[in-house]
Amino acid sequence: MSSRKKLIAGNWKMNKTSAEATALVTDVVTAVGKLTDVDIVVCPPFTALESAGKALADSNIRLGAQNMHPEATGAYTGEISAGMLRALFATYVILGHSERRALFAETDAFINQKVHAALKNQLKPILCVGESLAEREGGSTLKVVQTQLEAGLEGVGKDQVSSVVIAYEPVWAIGTGKVATTDQAQEVHAFIRGLLTKNFGEAIAQKVRILYGGSMKPANAPDLLAQKDIDGGLIGGASLEARSFVELVNAAAAAK
Ligand code: PGA
């Protein structure tokens, strides 16, 4: 058991209209909106942030975005800034998701700029790291994770890092139904905690939450969430229905 509060975050990806977001969030709020022993975050697409934010306004559920641009304003057609997210009462932002890295060519350096911009605007970054199948099979999982983690956190101060959430998401487990085994996940989570200890010291490393992501479902969540260094989940597919998302929140409450 750890002193870290578990966190369950839903990454809706490119799903749900504004009206659909209201309906889903309303159902989640009804079921677990008053819970205080788990931190719950929903990350709708930009176009549904406002409606989702209104639906969760009187609850303990927090709003997150799935991406942002590091600059505050300017000629960046199609982009959204940290300040714009704050104005919609978002408090978290997913950064460096493997889909952004692979499909939109995001580099570690660019992701690092976003981490700094998020922190400057009081947004908590959920920094995603994880290896591809080829990298796992080639034996470079830990090296890949180390590079992504250290580059993503470059220049982040000791006083800031406990506001950062790390999400370990093996790319081969995302949306595939192939979940990492508890041993595979715990090994990487412990490795990440070790890197945080080396770079920021033991006391701070013990405070940082490390989520697992990749085909987490109500059936496999209890075992994953029972691992020493797994502090919650970043949930894709299973966050799109209130029932499965609520079951995951309840699994986290039971695991604490
Ligand atoms: P999944 O997605 O739960 O659908 O595998 C997780 C994620 O990409 O954050």
The Cα 68–Cα 81 span in angstroms is 5
Domain 7-254 class?
alpha beta
Q: Residue 159: its pLDDT value, please?
A: 95
pTM of the predicted model, to two decimals?
Answer: 0.97
Residue nearest to atom 6 of ligand 1 (CA): 236
Would you call 97 a catalytic residue per the annotation?
yes
Q: Residue 131: its pLDDT value, please?
A: 97
Residue in 100, 101, 169 to alter for ligand 1 test, most ligand atoms within 8 A of Cβ: 169
Taking CA atoms, 33 is separated from 29, 70, 117, in Å, by 4, 31, 29
Question: What does the angle CA 229 – CA 232 – CA 238 come to, to the nearest 5 degrees?
Answer: 140
The tokens of 28 are what?
Answer: 């989640």
CB 47 within 8 A of CB 58: no
Q: pLDDT tens per residue, the chain (256 residues)?
A: 468 999 999 999 999 999 999 999 999 999 999 999 999 999 999 999 999 999 999 999 999 999 999 999 999 999 999 999 999 999 999 999 999 999 999 999 999 999 999 999 999 999 999 999 999 999 999 999 999 999 999 999 999 999 999 999 999 999 898 888 999 999 999 999 999 999 999 999 999 999 999 999 999 999 999 999 999 999 999 999 999 999 999 999 999 6
Q: Which of 106, 131, 135, 169 is catalytic?
A: 169
Residue in 216, 220, 244 to alter for ligand 1 test, most ligand atoms within 8 A of Cβ: 216
